[in-house]
Amino acid sequence: MEFELWNQICNQLNLGTIKEPPRPLKGGFLHRVYSLFTAKGRYAVKLLNPYVMQRETAMDNFRRAEELETLLTQHGLPILPALSFRGKKLQEINGQFFYLFDWFEGRSLKREEIKESHCCRIGTLLAQIHEIDKREQHVAHNELHIDWDYYIEQLACSNQDLSALLKRNRSLLYESQERGNAALKTLPPVITICHNDMDCKNVLWNGDDCRIIDLECLAYSNPFLELYEMALCWSGYEDCNIDCQRLKAFIQSYSDAGGELPTDWETLHDGNYGRLEWLEYNVKRSLGRNCSVQEQSIGISEVQNTMALIVYYYKERNHILNCI
């Protein structure tokens, strides 16, 4: 079935004959990405998650992201935009939606490879993105009201280890949720173009040259929140080992490139609670809801990983703020 899909893709987009079997690439946790080598060259193909595409807001979100992707291209940002065919970026064959990209000979850095110079580069690029179209406007944040007790109960029937993990951290989950809801109400009224997922896995490097990928989450958001989250990610947050020097380098380079720095970092720390939403999403996947069997396995692993990050983030609050 998949071989037939690749032939259909090549025929529909006039890519020529396939020269070697498409190879899966390591990447995110939602969509599948492959290397496709044809008579016309090598490409990257992103097969979009069918469960994501069933969401009512999916098509509008992808359309808006494509418009912002074009804007970033016009401003000379080093991104890897989707290719257009007959005036469309988003392609579809028999219900499978996908994007095609030119091949970039690079790779994402392993976390132990990230240096201050990389943090400076990404901090600069983030500032340049944020300065394209900044507006004084409140962001409408939907408060989180996740019923963690419900998930603890549901998991008890299918995965007692995950149920126990959430139960041990029940108070932390509810406290983080309440703090986050309160903090987001006091954020400065400013929005700008944000990548919303510009962490280490979504930047490909070839020496000092780099390309930003995974642009499907581009949207107008609060730049201070993205600055804080990305500074943490690039300084070691996802290893539960934040390096103060890398954290400072990221923020300083952002400021040096013209990015506006916030005045209240404590509010940003509390308001940066997107990991709770990611945790809930993966709890649902671990329960087998609206996902494939393969995704269910990913969901179980991500619940464990994400819970570790949430605990670390809570414990290291003062350390992180003192670094800044």
Q: How far is 119 from 248, CA to CA, in rounded Å?
A: 9
Q: Which residue has the tokens 């979100």?
A: 61
Burial class for 233, CB neighbours closer than 10 Å (0-12, 13-18, 19+)? buried
Residue 219 half-sphere exposure toward CB, CA atoms < 13 A? 14
Q: What is the pLDDT of residue 142?
A: 84
Q: How far apart, in whole angstroms, are the C-alpha atoms of residue 212 and residue 195?
A: 9
Quick check: 27 pLDDT over 70?
no
Q: Is the pLDDT of residue 269 over 90?
A: yes
Cα(59)–Cα(216) distance, integer angstroms: 11
Rounded distance between C-alpha atoms, residue 121 and residue 59, angstroms: 32
What is the model's pLDDT at position 290?
Answer: 81
Do the beta carbons of residue 191 and residue 221 sit within 8 Å?
yes
Distance CA 44, CA 25 (A): 9
Average pLDDT, the chain: 94
- Percent of the chain scoring above 90 in pLDDT: 90
Whether residue 64 is predicted with pLDDT greater than 70 in this model: the reply is: yes
Could you give all domains of the chain from N- to C-terminal order, each with its CATH number? 2-102 (3.30.200.20), 111-323 (3.90.1200.10)
Give the lowest-confidence range in 2-6, 69-73, 183-187.
Answer: 2-6
> What is the average pLDDT across 140-163?
94
Q: What is the pLDDT of residue 291?
A: 81
- HSE toward the beta carbon, residue 65, CA cutoff 13 A: 20
The larger pLDDT score, comparing residue 100 to residue 290, is at 100
Which class for 1: exposed (0-12), middle (13-18), buried (19 or more C-beta within 10 A)? exposed
The average pLDDT across 5-15 equals 95
b or e along 299-321 (b: 16 or more beta carbons within 10 Å of the residue's beta carbon)? bbebbebbbebbbbbeebeeebe
Judged against a pLDDT cut of 80, whether residue 172 lies above it is answered with: yes
Q: Average pLDDT of 235-245?
A: 95
Give the per-residue SS3 of the chain: CHHHHHHHHHHHHCCCCECCCCEEECCCCCCEEEEEEECCEEEEEEECCHHHHCCCCHHHHHHHHHHHHHHHHHCCCCECCCCCECCECCEEECCEEEEEEECCCCECCCHHHCCHHHHHHHHHHHHHHHCCCCECCCCCCCCCCCCHHHHHHHHHCCCHHHHHHHHHCHHHHHHHHHHHHHHHCCCCCCEEEECCCCCHHHEEEECCEEEECCCCCCEEECHHHHHHHHHHHHCCHHHCCCCHHHHHHHHHHHHHCCCCCCCCHHHHHHHCCHHHHHHHHHHHHHCCCCCCHHHHHHHHHHHHHHHHHHHHHHHCHHHHHHHC
Q: CA 196, CA 263: separation in Å to the nearest integer?
A: 21
44-48, 51-55, 158-162: the lowest-pLDDT one:
51-55
pLDDT of 28 higher than 80 = no
* Lookup result for tokens 């240096």: 115
**What pLDDT digit, counting tens, does each position of 72-103 carry?**
999 999 999 999 999 999 999 999 999 999 99
Give this prediction's pTM.
Answer: 0.91
C-alpha closest to that of 241 among 321, 324, 316: 316
* pLDDT of 50 over the 60 cut: yes
pLDDT of residue 139: 79
